[in-house]
Amino acid sequence: MSQTIFPAPRKIEAPSAAQRPFSFIHHSTEISDPWHWLKDQGYPEVTDPDILDYLKAENSYFETVMKPQQAMTDKIFGELKGRIKEDDVSVPWVEGDFEYRWAYGEGAQYRTWYRRPLGAEHWGVLLDENIEAGSHEYFRLGDMSISPDGKLMAWSVDNNGSERFTVKVRVIETGELLESHVEETSGNVVWSADSKHFFYVHVSAEWRPYKVFIHTLGTEQSDHLVYEEKDTSFFVSVGLSSSRGYIFIRAADHVTAELCAVKADAPFSAPMRINNRKAGHDCHADHGQGQFIIRTNRAHKNFSLVSVGDDDPLEVNWQTIMDGGDGHYIRGHQMFKNLTVVQERINGLDQVRLLRAGGDQTVAFPEDVYAANIGHNPAFDQTHIRLNYTSMVTPNTVFDYDLNTGELIPRKVQEIPSGYDASSYVTERIMVTARDGARVPVSIVSRKDVASQTGPKPLHLYGYGAYGLGMDPSFSSGRISLLDRGFIYAIAHIRGGDDMGYGWYEDGKLDKRENTFNDFVDCGRALVGLDYTKAGDISISGGSAGGELMGAVVNQAPELFRAVVMHVPFVDVLNTMLDESLPLTPIEWPEWGNPIALKEVFDHIRSYSPYDQIEAKDYPPMMVTGGLNDPRVTYWEPAKWTAKMRAYKTDNNVLVMKINMGAGHGGKSGRFERLHETAEEYSFILMTFGIGT
Nearest residue to 624 via CA among 537, 554, 536: 554
Non-local CB neighbours of 93 within 8 Å, separated by 6+ positions: 99, 100, 101, 376, 377, 378, 379, 386
- φ and ψ of 601, to 5 deg: -70, -45
What distance separates the 2 farthest-apart alpha carbons in the chain? 74
The gap between the terminal CA atoms of the chain, to the nearest Å, is 31
Nearest residue to 391 via CA among 412, 366, 416: 366
CA 179, 185, 190, 193 torsion-angle sign: negative
pLDDT digit string (tens) for 323-375? 999 999 999 999 999 999 999 999 999 999 999 987 899 999 999 889 999 99
- Report the relative pairing of strands 304-309 and 488-492 from DSSP bridges: unpaired
Domain ranges of the chain: 1-85+621-693, 347-414
**Distance (Å, whole) CA 171 – CA 149:** 11
Residue-wise DSSP of 389-441: EE-SSS--EEEEEETTT--EEEEEE---TT---GGGEEEEEEEEE-TTS-EEE
Catalytic residue among 254, 333, 604, 665: 665
- In the chain, what percentage of residues exceed pLDDT 70? 98
What letter does residue 652 receive in the DSSP assignment? -
Output the pTM of the full model.
0.92
| CA angle in degrees (0–180, nearest 5) for 642-587-258 | 155
**Distance (Å, whole) CA 125 – CA 100:** 10
Nearest residue to 617 via CA among 646, 645, 650, 588: 650
- φ and ψ of 74, to 5 deg: -65, -40
pLDDT digit string (tens) for 77-119? 999 999 999 999 999 999 999 999 999 999 999 999 999 999 9
Q: How high is the pLDDT of residue 1?
A: 35
Query: What fold, for 1-85+621-693?
Result: Rossmann fold (3.40.50)
Please, what's the b/e burial string for 663-678 (b: 16 or more CB within 10 A of its CB; e: otherwise)? Answer: bbbbbbbbbbbbbbbb
pLDDT digit string (tens) for 495-551? 999 999 999 999 999 999 999 999 999 999 999 999 999 999 999 999 999 999 999
Q: How high is the pLDDT of residue 221?
A: 63
665 is an active site residue: yes
- Which helix (H) or strand (E) segment holds residue 679: the answer is helix 671-688
Q: Cα 600 vs. chain centroid, distance in angstroms?
A: 30
281 is an active site residue: no
**Distance (Å, whole) CA 513 – CA 497:** 11
Nearest residue to 659 via CA among 17, 144, 52, 40: 52
Please, what's the b/e burial string for 203-232 (b: 16 or more CB within 10 A of its CB; e: otherwise)? Answer: beebbbbbbbbbbbeeeeeebeebbebeeb
* Spans of the chain, pLDDT less than 50: 1-2
Phi-psi region of 221 (alpha: psi -120 to 50; beta: other; left: phi over 0): beta
Catalytic residue among 507, 630, 651, 669: 630
**Distance (Å, whole) CA 327 – CA 12:** 55
**Distance (Å, whole) CA 607 – CA 621:** 24
481 is an active site residue: no
Please, what's the b/e burial string for 152-174 (b: 16 or more CB within 10 A of its CB; e: otherwise)? Answer: bbbbbbbbbbbbbbbbbbbebee
Catalytic residue among 544, 609, 669, 683: 544
Q: How high is the pLDDT of residue 205?
A: 81
**Distance (Å, whole) CA 642 – CA 666:** 19
What letter does residue 129 receive in the DSSP assignment? H
Give the orientation angle of helix 636-648 with respect to helix 49-66, to 10 degrees: 70
Residue 422 to residues 157, 394, 461, 620: CA-CA distances in angstroms?
A: 38, 7, 21, 34
Q: How high is the pLDDT of residue 86?
A: 93
56, 60, 62, 66: CA torsion to nearest 10:
160
Beta carbons of 211 and 227 less than 8 angstroms apart: yes
| CA angle in degrees (0–180, nearest 5) for 49-667-63 | 60
Non-local CB neighbours of 245 within 8 Å, separated by 6+ positions: 263, 264, 265, 287, 288, 310
**Distance (Å, whole) CA 10 – CA 13:** 7
- Which helix (H) or strand (E) segment holds residue 66: the answer is helix 49-66
